[in-house]
């Protein structure tokens, strides 16, 4: 269990990236949803001990992550959003190098570890290929292999499926699901489908604040009977945005399909639609924006 309590971070330029985040994250896949700039990467870097928090605490079991950074780094694996590799080095040689850096210095155990990890991420057959020739999905799977060195108790992955084609995305998410059976895995993303498909628990962060946490299916149930859909012309879209709490708009065949949030049928051609996690997500972003506007007006 990862316990985060009242975690805060303000940068030198005055940007308050984290505002008292409190979360309990159990073993398994945990989805962290939020738009770009919400504070997700700041939270991930703080948990990975790459930057200091201004206040709060983080405990992984009985380990104080923020004060015992050496032990924390030994017990975690991290795949950042931008994971660079040496393009002219083979996958096997690079993973061997990472294993040495992680403290696996004896040659025979290290060789066995590298082979096992490359097999786990389905890259053993291409172990002698240079990393510069790997596809995006292959590089991400290699990134997971290096993150798993040392059998971490906590695995952090930041925007891992951005830019992957559907086949590579599915392969990568299946790999994460397997890993998540044994350890705490935090999947930080702005892609709602990744959380819907994979995570039994999740949280939404916006403007540095925790907006919602729980089971995706329960958060969706909270909107049952409150989401309404209508297809409108592009010209009439501003009128509907002004009149309703619009959760999302999607252009289909030159016309906009809108979802709105209302306790009762708005009429005027709207029909009920089953809510999904995207409706939950966009609803929380709208609430966050409204709260911010009210705070600025005070």
Say if CB 68 and CB 17 are below 8 A apart: no
Per-residue pLDDT of the chain (298 residues; tens, 9 = 90+): 899 999 999 999 988 999 999 999 999 999 999 888 889 889 999 999 999 999 999 999 999 999 999 999 888 988 887 777 788 999 999 999 999 988 888 999 999 999 999 998 889 999 999 999 998 888 888 988 988 898 889 999 888 877 778 888 888 888 888 888 888 999 988 888 888 878 999 999 999 999 999 999 999 999 999 999 999 888 888 888 888 888 988 888 778 899 999 999 988 889 999 999 999 999 888 888 777 777 666 5
Give which of 89, 92, 22 is closest to 58, Cα–Cα: 22
What's the pLDDT at 151? 86
Give the pTM. Answer: 0.85
Say if CB 43 and CB 51 are below 8 A apart: no
Q: What's the longest Cα–Cα distance across the chain?
A: 72
What's the pLDDT at 298? 59
Say if CB 42 and CB 198 are below 8 A apart: no
What's the pLDDT at 178? 84
In tens, the pLDDT along 183-196 reads 899 998 888 888 88
For 124, half-sphere exposure in the C-beta direction (CA atoms, 13 angstrom radius) is 11
The CATH number of the domain covering residues in 2-214: 3.40.50.300
Say if CB 258 and CB 237 are below 8 A apart: yes
Q: Where are the domains of the chain?
A: 2-214, 221-297
Secondary structure letter of residue 38 according to DSSP: S
Say if CB 137 and CB 172 are below 8 A apart: yes
Q: CA–CA separation, 5 vs 55, rounded Å?
A: 9
What's the pLDDT at 270? 92
- Please count the other Cβ atoms lying within 10 Å of the Cβ belonging to residue 269: 10
Say if CB 115 and CB 96 are below 8 A apart: no
What's the pLDDT at 155? 92
What's the pLDDT at 287? 83
In tens, the pLDDT along 45-56 reads 999 999 999 999
Say if CB 33 and CB 190 are below 8 A apart: yes
What's the pLDDT at 130? 94
- The sheet carrying 16-25 orders its strands as 16-25, 2-10, 55-60, 63-64
Q: CA–CA separation, 18 vs 36, rounded Å?
A: 14
């Amino acid at each position: 269990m990862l316990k985060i309590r009242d975690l805060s971070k303000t940068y030198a330029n005055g940007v308050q990236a984290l505002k008292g985040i409190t979360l309990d994250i159990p073993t398994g896949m945990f989805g962290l949803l939020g738009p770009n700039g919400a504070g997700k990467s700041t939270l991930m870097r703080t948990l990975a001990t790459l930057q200091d928090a201004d206040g709060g605490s983080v405990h992984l079991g009985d380990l104080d992550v923020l004060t015992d950074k050496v032990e924390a780094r030994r017990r975690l694996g991290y795949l950042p959003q931008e994971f660079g590799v040496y393009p002219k080095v083979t996958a096997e040689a690079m993973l061997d190098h990472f294993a040495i850096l992680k403290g696996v210095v004896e040659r025979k155990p290290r060789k066995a570890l590298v082979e096992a990890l490359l097999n786990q991420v389905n890259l053993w057959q291409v172990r002698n290929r240079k990393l510069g020739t790997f596809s995006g999905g292959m590089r991400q799977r290699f990134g997971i292999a290096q993150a798993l060195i040392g059998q971490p108790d906590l695995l952090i992955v930041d925007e891992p499926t951005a830019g992957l084609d559907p086949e590579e995305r599915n392969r990568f998410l299946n790999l994460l699901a397997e890993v998540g059976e044994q350890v705490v895995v935090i999947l930080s993303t702005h892609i709602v489908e990744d959380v819907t498909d994979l995570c039994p628990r999740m949280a939404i962060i916006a403007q540095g604040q925790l907006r919602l946490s729980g089971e995706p299916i329960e958060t969706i149930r909270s909107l049952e009977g409150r989401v309404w859909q209508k297809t409108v012309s592009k010209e009439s879209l501003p009128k509907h945005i002004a009149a309703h709490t619009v959760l999302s708009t999607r252009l289909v065949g030159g016309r906009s399909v809108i979802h709105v949030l209302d306790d009762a049928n708005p009429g005027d051609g709207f029909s009920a639609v089953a809510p999904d996690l995207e409706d939950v997500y966009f609803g929380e972003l709208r609430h966050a924006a409204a709260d911010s506007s009210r705070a600025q007006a005070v």
